[in-house]
Structure 1
């Protein structure tokens, strides 16, 4: 799990890291050292970018991460992971979309599109959530498998219209990628629904969905 930031840093990161350590029956290695991503990723079932921001990788780290995913490694992006590595085209393609803006933190509704995926099968069809409601440069639909969308009629300031994916997955090269735009505040990481959302996404990306 990687939480390096060179841009905005979320106050929720300590609580988010602590939550990941108790999500499931697996070990979590947490780092903010970019050298840790330059070698040795093959020992891990998945790499998680948790609210990273800005340029957080060295050239060697970029190359190694791309090789890791290409050879079957799992990748998980949470919240501000979409605000990361804007200067590296591969990363935008890997994740599926890039963040542009968000309205103020507020309640809204998430509509589940895939109720069978491990990240969403435990959630109600209409999920009440409080978050930042990220907008992206464009909808990733067509390049990714959309799991859930934001209902922009349920909050103010949305900028994507009727097609606003908020969580998705995809296969990329030989690996699996899961992303959720939710997870701004510490409260999310104490919420059982969001914790199960994260756990299902991590296990799917690690190719251990059951």
Structure 2
């Protein structure tokens, strides 16, 4: 695996992957440079797996899975849970993957949040998985970038997934027809992003084909979204590229032919690289 020549103050990795780092420093000049987003660039990815609220048990395994997928594509990847790394080394990367990072304001101070925003506005790309949109309303910039927050979710169930007609040729969904069946934990959000300025819905789930709110959240007043339930979308405003998918509660929802294409093409899209899918 190719590793970025950088120093991570603390890197917590359990499960399937261990990474080592070579010391180096990020200068002010480095931080000011926009990422190289040309198609010839192989892509560099920082997976952030820090959590401020509920932590999904499979977060470490998911980090390992993400590293294997990006390594398979010969992209450079590092993993961290240290918020300070978002200040120190994020400018060296094209893509930031948020691996189920709940309630970021609980772990990122104002400096770190501003560093992420500045990096994004200078052309960075964010790929947010599943619970990355849980309890983010206190970070106004990120909440507006994402478009919504968490309400409740389902059990791990099979459901009918519908491709938005305008998105059928997007590399993250291309080649799977207008609809298909898929198994995942489906998240209900506090609002739909359909029609929001700068947003493009990729996929929706048909709530008539599964129980949208599991028993735990039924008791807490959780609400289904109804006929318009986006589960994957893009947002291109603000200088960078943002992608979100409800997939990623655990590896089961990702380690399939569709899941692997969905995530790897999302990372390449966020980096501004040419798609691999035909």
What TM-score range do you get, normalising by the shorter chain?
over 0.9
Matches of residues 51-62 of structure 1 in structure 2 within 5 Å?
51-54=100-103, 55-62=106-113
Structure 1 residues not aligned, in runs of 5+: none
Shift of 1:95: 1.3
**Residue 186 of structure 1 aligns with which residue?**
251
Please list the CA deviations of residues 118-157 of structure 1 after superposition, one character each: whole Å capped at 9, or x if unmatched: 1111333222222221111110112210000011111013
* Residue 201 of structure 1 pairs with residue 266 of structure 2: yes
Given the superposition, is the C-alpha separation of residues 124 and 185 from structure 1 closer, same or farther in structure 2, using an over 3 Å criterion? Answer: farther
Of structures 1 and 2, the one scoring higher in RCO (CA 8 A, sep 6+) is: 1
Native 8 Å contact 1:139 1:165 kept in 2: yes
Shift of 1:84: 4.5
**Residue 190 of structure 2 aligns with which residue?**
137
Shift of 1:14: 2.5
Partner SS, residue 38 of structure 1: helix
* Residue 152 of structure 1 pairs with residue 203 of structure 2: no
Matches of residues 83-122 of structure 1 in structure 2 within 5 Å?
83-113=134-164, 114-122=167-175
Given the superposition, is the C-alpha separation of residues 129 and 30 from structure 1 closer, same or farther in structure 2, using an over 3 Å criterion? Answer: same
Structure 2 residues not aligned, in runs of 5+: 1-46, 214-223
Distance 2:191 2:258 in 1: 27
Q: Which runs of structure 1 show a deviation greater than 3 angstroms over 4 or more consecutive aligned residues?
A: none
Given the superposition, is the C-alpha separation of residues 12 and 125 from structure 1 closer, same or farther in structure 2, using an over 3 Å criterion? Answer: farther
Task: Report which stretch shifted further, 72-81 or 104-113.
Answer: 104-113
**Structure of higher CA gyration radius:** 2
Task: Report which stretch shifted further, 184-193 or 94-103.
Answer: 184-193
Shift of 1:25: 2.0
Please list the CA deviations of residues 72-103 of structure 1 after superposition, one character each: whole Å capped at 9, or x if unmatched: 11111010101153311111111122111112
* Residue 31 of structure 1 pairs with residue 80 of structure 2: yes
Partner SS, residue 52 of structure 1: coil
Native 8 Å contact 1:48 1:76 kept in 2: yes
* Residue 161 of structure 1 pairs with residue 226 of structure 2: yes
Distance 2:95 2:141 in 1: 18
**Residue 6 of structure 1 aligns with which residue?**
52
* TM-score normalised by length of structure 2: 0.72
